Amino acid sequence: QCWHCNEQGSMGRGTKVSAVVPIKTYAADEVDFGGLDYLKERGISEDTAKTLGVCSGRKFFKKSGTELDAIGFPYRHQGRVTAIKWRSISTKEFTQDGSAQTLFLADKIEPGQDIVITEGELDAVIVSGVLGIPAVGCPGVANWKSHYPRLFNGYDTVYVVGDHDVKEDGSNPGAEFNRRVASEVMNATIVNLPAGLDITDYYLQNGYDKTRRLLGVVNE
């Protein structure tokens, strides 16, 4: 299914292309005070959160085995919320309502411009809402889907920003995210971050101007 013209069909040896169907519309509260404090610590204002549809609520997280306060990132397609990815405030745990089949903030971008793709929703909020650069978020290489590269048809340079976080076992998911996306998306350019940082960390340490320059933006 083409996400720009909604054309559907099949390819290859009769292999059917799965259509992405919104399963329901989700409702969530505006960001509460706890959630707002969590976002403010990361440089995200209340206005930015509301503009991008960030929400809050209490969700059950399997690892903790209990309900926790959480921030929600809505995924939209054709004007409808099709999924909400939840991140707990007190622990770095995730859960999801629905099934995200597109990219976070994909409804807010337009072809014919440079764009940033981040490894994670919160990073996309920083790039899009705080730095003012068109951006979408993908929650890691494990969640990168085969139809995603087609979403970038018609864009100019696609800046790929994976986290630079080496795990205890020596793996580097961010580097693998960069490699995978850059190998599949035309006009992709990898943005290399200092060791141990994601783009949110980099922004908090270095500020607006330096982060925009890192992402290839030269201030007027």
In this structure, which amino acid lies at residue 160? V
Residue type present at position 211: T
Structure tokens, 25: 């519309």
17, two tokens: 């292309």
216: left (phi over 0), alpha (psi -120 to 50) or beta: left
Local confidence band at 90 (pLDDT 50, 70, 90 cut-offs): very high
Token code pair at residue 123: 């990073």
User: Residue 172 — pLDDT band, cuts 50, 70, 90?
Assistant: confident
- Quote the pLDDT of residue 27: 59
Phi and psi angles of residue 157, each rounded to the nearest 5 degrees, phi first = -75, 135
On the question of pLDDT at 5 being above 60, the answer is no
Q: How far is CA 219 from CA 178, 189, 199, in A?
A: 25, 19, 18
**Which pLDDT band holds residue 29 (cuts at 50, 70, 90)?**
confident
Q: Among 14-18, 125-129, 189-193, 200-204, name the one with the lowest average pLDDT.
A: 14-18
pLDDT class of 13 with cuts at 50, 70, 90: very low
Q: Provide the b/e sequence for 70-106 (b: ≥16 CB within 10 Å).
A: bbbbbbbbeeebbbbbbbbbeeebbbbbbebbbbbbb
Amino acid at 13: R
Question: What is the strand order of the sheet 158-161 is part of?
Answer: 135-138, 115-119, 158-161, 188-190
Q: What is the pLDDT of residue 11?
A: 47
Q: If you count them, how many residues does the chain have?
A: 220
Q: Does residue 75 contact residue 102 with C-beta atoms inside 8 Å?
A: yes
- Tokens representing residue 23 in the block: 């399963």
pLDDT band at 1 (very low <50, low <70, confident <90, very high): low
User: What pLDDT is recorded for position 17?
Assistant: 43
Decide if pLDDT at 170 tops 80: no
Would the pLDDT of 4 be above 60?
no
Among 2-11, 54-63, 70-79, 209-218, where is mean pLDDT lowest?
2-11
Q: What percent of the chain has pLDDT over 70?
A: 85
Taking 90 as the threshold, does the pLDDT of residue 190 lie above it? yes
Structure confidence at residue 100 (pLDDT): 84
Q: What is the pLDDT of residues 47-68, one digit of tens each?
A: 999 999 999 989 999 999 999 9
Predicted local distance difference test score (pLDDT) of residue 9? 52
- Range 167-174 average pLDDT: 76
- Global pTM reads 0.84
CA distance 103 to 122: 13
